[in-house]
Structure 1
Amino acid sequence: MINEMNGIDESGTWHDAIAGFTEVPASSAEATHPNIFRIAGFPRRETVSSNVLAYFFDPAENHGLKDMMLKALLRTIHKEDMDVSDVSVYTEASTDKNNRIDILLDLPELSIAIENKVDSGLNNDLADYRSWAKEHSGNEAIVVVLHPFDNFDLADHPSAQGLVVEQDLFDVLYDNLFRNALGMLGEYSLDADSRAVDLLQQFIDNYSPERKQKKMDNTSTDITQFVSQANGIEQQLVNVRQSFETYTKAVRSKLQTIHKDLISQWTEESPVNGKSVTLADNWEWPTPKRHKPFDNLYYAQSFKLENPGSGDMGRVITCEFFFNIEFNDGYVSSDPEYGSFNTIWYKAYWGGHGTKQKPKVRITKPYNQILDAKLEDSNEDIKNAVEAAVERTLKTCWNI
């Protein structure tokens, strides 16, 4: 039957409708790693890319990877036998015509002028790069055009006039360079700085078209999987979402009322009879303006024991209760598969809102515990269960 008030299907078909949604899509199972290039706001900045590449091309730098990246480049252009015993690395080298070479590598027998292209087109005097590099070093010189996508036909490109592809001009894709570098990483990583290895991995994650395409393919797979699973049961799924939102709003309203009643009660009477336990602060988290439809809310109360004796002056305990929706407070993640939608959770920790002490100093063990009351119980029964848990926590921790 259909509930005319909210249009929710109550026919009992929801179980069949959502029973197939048990698989975790491939991309959803992958960890999302922090990436300094995206965080800093320059995921496609060409100058940043050139500076990082120059750092790894230089064997004398403090990354500890020695000549790995340089040899990876030489392997990519089939010049593995070049001497790399003495290497100088420059960025933004200026030619006599005031053209700027992104990266210049001076080896004992060869000078390599690298034109690094991330997104922009190729419109450079590459012959001038080679001529100046040869005169500057006194050695043979070549030009490498390094770029992420296979979008240049250098043999017929205006920028390549005067140069011969695969002789003094080489077309190198980022992923070919990265593939050779990663293939050599195992033998170099033992002596390398772990932070430098992580930086290299972040650089590759950020600039590799192959890795980006893999993530896009995973996204497409997620869409295809959901569309396939939802085919023919779209309305039932919409109804489930609507009903779940109604449930979360109702639970928040009920627990918020209970929280306010308890605070009013504790303001007038200590939660531990005969002891000077005062309210330090109280809050809901996240605030109503910030929470999303399926986020949890904490109903938390901090307590401070007055005149506790030596050693514990000013210490604060916070107790929280909340319902069975997935969340992560930065210290602990809930496990919604344990418990039910009728479950109320409880936890306590040293510290409080705005204090130096952090919730990682746990009191309850296990940290998340099921309260001795159900959401379907009366407000009074839930209040009594919360009070009992709080009193038990305070007495145990302060030995009162």
Structure 2
Amino acid sequence: MIDEMNGINESDTWHDAIAVFTEVSASSTEATRPNIFRIAGFPRRETVSSNVLAYFFDPAEGHGLKDLMLKALLRTIHKEDMDVSDVSVSTEASTGKNNRIDILLDLPDISIAIENKVDAGLYNDLADYRSWAAKQSNNDSAIVIVLHPFNNFVLKDHPSAQGLVVEQDLFDVHYDELFSNALGMLGEYSLDADPRAVDLLQQFIDNYSPERKQKKMDNTSTDITQFVSQANGIEQQLVNVRQSFEKYTEAVRSKLQTVHADLISRWAEESPVNGKSVTLADNWEWPKRHKPFDNQYYAQSFKLEKPGSSDVDRIITCEFFFNIKFDDGYVVSDPESGSFNTIWYKAYWGGLGTDQKPTVRITNPYNETLDAKLTDSNEDIKKAVEAAVERTLKDNWNI
């Protein structure tokens, strides 16, 4: 029976299903970048947001962005002419009524009390905030800003706004308004800034920007719709592909582990370079947890030590691993240059955790194919690994 929509014969194997599966990349899809706020487990923590904002609002901090965020904030409320030559920044400032101001900015011309809202509703005594902020000001001038990520947020006639006048001493600032102004000014500030601070600011914006979050949600919906459409009628075949691939990766992992263990046992009795003094200093596998269909870089590694040498040139690490495409954080492979039967090999100066920049790479190209295939016998693979390791050590230790 033929599935006319996809042209698949139900009796066919999954090979035929995959042949007609055409992946159409969504133009808006972006890779998920590492983000410290999500990784640390506080993507929506208000105190974290306030502390990071206070850091960037303070021109004296070590970020090197000077008054970028402060100017962006003032531009948002149309007070960009304010003097920012002397700024004091504090968080959790306690008022006379024991209310706490999330961020208090004391400028030469004015004091600004910021109520930072991430998820919770507005219920604060903002008039008390302004009164306290005015006491900190040199000229009793103070305003309150409610910073938030909410659409259709209205301050006028809000219970918390009593005693204050919107757009005079009370202002409503959306996160994306602040971020837009900051990003628009970033170019002129970034050259003198600490790159890590610039990256932190970008991560903060990625994490707290409603606009960017909505875009990612839209991308997610697009990806789901795309895959459902492509997989229509061949669902079981695709499941079979995944299961078959998982069996392959587990089988290869087991095989290379056995080869690795045999070589360690052999080298414990004799040097990997015949007749020369070389010590097996350490060995490991990476990653410890194997995730099919994720990053298939899976390495078996040997750290070898040349006795009597200086620290600079006494340790070489050799790795052998498998897959068709990988990204180990230092080098991305070209999937056209390998197959599911390929074994890769590389060597570098130093041990586990070494920053594998070009200065420590030994093999050239850094990732090269081993003279053995995964379908070869364990003995043939062991001989190929030993030959590659011996060649690496002889060339670089001159032995």
Query: TM-score normalised by the shorter chain: which range applies?
Result: 0.7 to 0.9
Residue aligning to 2:146 = 145
Residue aligning to 1:130 = 130
Residue aligning to 2:45 = 45
SS at match of 1:23: coil
Give the deviation of 1:320 after TM superposition. 3.0
Judge conservation of contact 2:324–2:338 (CA < 8 Å) in 1.
Answer: no
Question: Cα 1:135–1:229, aligned 2, differ >3 Å: closer, same or farther?
Answer: same
Cα displacement string for residues 218-240 of structure 1 (whole angstroms, at most 9, x for unaligned residues): 22222222222222221221111
Judge conservation of contact 1:352–1:358 (CA < 8 Å) in 2.
Answer: no
Residue aligning to 2:121 = 121
Give the deviation of 1:102 after TM superposition. 2.8
Q: Which amino acid aligns with 2:221?
A: S
SS at match of 1:166: coil
**Aligned equivalents of 2:237, 2:146: Cα separation in 1:** 55
- Structure 1 stretches lacking a partner, 5+ long: 1-7
Judge conservation of contact 2:342–2:374 (CA < 8 Å) in 1.
Answer: yes
Give the deviation of 1:270 after TM superposition. 4.7
Question: Cα 1:346–1:66, aligned 2, differ >3 Å: closer, same or farther?
Answer: closer
The alignment status of 1:368 with 2:367, answered yes or no, reads yes
Give the deviation of 1:13 after TM superposition. 0.4
Question: Cα 1:70–1:16, aligned 2, differ >3 Å: closer, same or farther?
Answer: same
Judge conservation of contact 2:325–2:332 (CA < 8 Å) in 1.
Answer: yes
Residue aligning to 2:6 = none
Alignment partner for residue 16 of structure 2, among 1, 10, 13?
13
Question: Cα 1:240–1:142, aligned 2, differ >3 Å: closer, same or farther?
Answer: same
- Structure 2 stretches lacking a partner, 5+ long: 1-10
**Aligned equivalents of 1:79, 1:24: Cα separation in 2:** 42
TM-score normalized with structure 2 length? 0.79
**Aligned equivalents of 2:202, 2:386: Cα separation in 1:** 51
Give the deviation of 1:195 after TM superposition. 4.5
Judge conservation of contact 2:17–2:234 (CA < 8 Å) in 1.
Answer: no
SS at match of 2:156: helix
**Aligned equivalents of 1:303, 1:32: Cα separation in 2:** 35
SS at match of 1:155: coil
The worse-fitting range, judged by mean Cα deviation, of 130-139 and 248-257 is: 130-139
**Aligned equivalents of 1:239, 1:358: Cα separation in 2:** 39
Judge conservation of contact 2:35–2:207 (CA < 8 Å) in 1.
Answer: no
Give the deviation of 1:341 after TM superposition. 1.3
Residue aligning to 1:299 = 300
Q: Which amino acid aligns with 1:239?
A: N
**Aligned equivalents of 1:337, 1:126: Cα separation in 2:** 62
Residue aligning to 2:178 = 177
Give the deviation of 1:173 after TM superposition. 1.0
Question: Cα 1:377–1:24, aligned 2, differ >3 Å: closer, same or farther?
Answer: farther
TM-score normalized with structure 1 length? 0.79
Q: Which amino acid aligns with 1:23?
A: S
The alignment status of 1:339 with 2:341, answered yes or no, reads no
The alignment status of 1:23 with 2:22, answered yes or no, reads no
Cα displacement string for residues 143-163 of structure 1 (whole angstroms, at most 9, x for unaligned residues): 221112135432232112233
Larger radius of gyration: 1
Judge conservation of contact 2:14–2:241 (CA < 8 Å) in 1.
Answer: no
